[in-house]
Amino acid sequence: MTRAFPQALHIVAGWDQAADLASDLVCATVRRKPGAVLGFATGRTATEIFPALIRKARLGRADFTQVRCFNLDEYIGLPPSHPNAYSNEMQRGLYDPMGLNPAQVFLFDGMASNPGHEAERCERALAAAGGIDLQLAGLGENGHIGFNEPGSPGDSRTRVVSLSATSRTANRRYFPAPGAVPARAITMGIGTILDARQIVMVALGAHKAAAVARMFNDPVGPATPATFLRGHGNVTIVLDHLAASALPESVLAAGQEPGA
Ligand code: F6R
């Protein structure tokens, strides 16, 4: 069935099924286009998907030797050696196990002396790479995508942002102390994300249910940044039953099980 939004909706049993499906979508893109440009979120949802992707790469489901990868965002003030730096998490969790070389990977430098210039470097690199073929995104409990917090304009580009209290609280569990969560980040903008030719958004767990419902129901606008996905045209959403639990029946009825 062709849908207005999202163009595909998969409601799966749990994390393993979501990882299987999302990694299949990435592999399909790379099979279709060996030099594909892939955008990756970090965070719990994305890092649960990476082992499935690594497994499939090792099984030869797709050849990743020519892909290029971009990180979606990065904390400002954490060196790449910091365990919570997204560049570090991505290197350890995905890029190293996949055997990608540094030239294949764009990482933000969270310690750049001029973070604004670092953001512009990302936009230039994206343009030089020909844009993102598939962007894997997660969803913040406040409706953010990347670190585009509520208030972010739909045409925003990669830039320096302040993290909201909600996001800092949500990410506190990954840091040794509450005060250790950085206050600022560099993120691809909403306009930058919407330039991706395909977006795969994965949201799992009951704590995402309200944000998922708002992504579908709120007026499209900066108050709920994920609503901007509704104007994209090639969005696949992968949810588990808990994350989908606040969606109206009319939306759920069109949800597909994997392979459907
Ligand atoms: C991280 C990012 C964020 C996360 C979102 C969900 O790179 O872009 O938008 O995707 O905050 O985070 P998790 O998956 O940890 O719930």
Check: pTM over 0.75? Answer yes or no: yes
pLDDT at 257: 57
Ligand 1 cavity residues, CB under 6 Å: 41-45, 72-73, 86, 138-140, 144-146
Query: Is residue 144 among the annotated active site residues?
Result: yes
Question: Which stretches of the chain score pLDDT less than 50?
Answer: 1, 258-260
Determine the distance separating the centroid of ligand 1 and the alpha carbon of 46, expressed in angstroms.
7
* List of residues 6+ apart from 196 with CB closer than 8 A: 39, 131, 132, 133, 134, 135
pLDDT at 250: 86
pLDDT tens-place string over residues 132-145: 999 999 999 999 99
3-state secondary structure of 196: coil
Burial 163-179 (b: 16+ CB within 10 A, else e): bbeebbebbeeebeeee
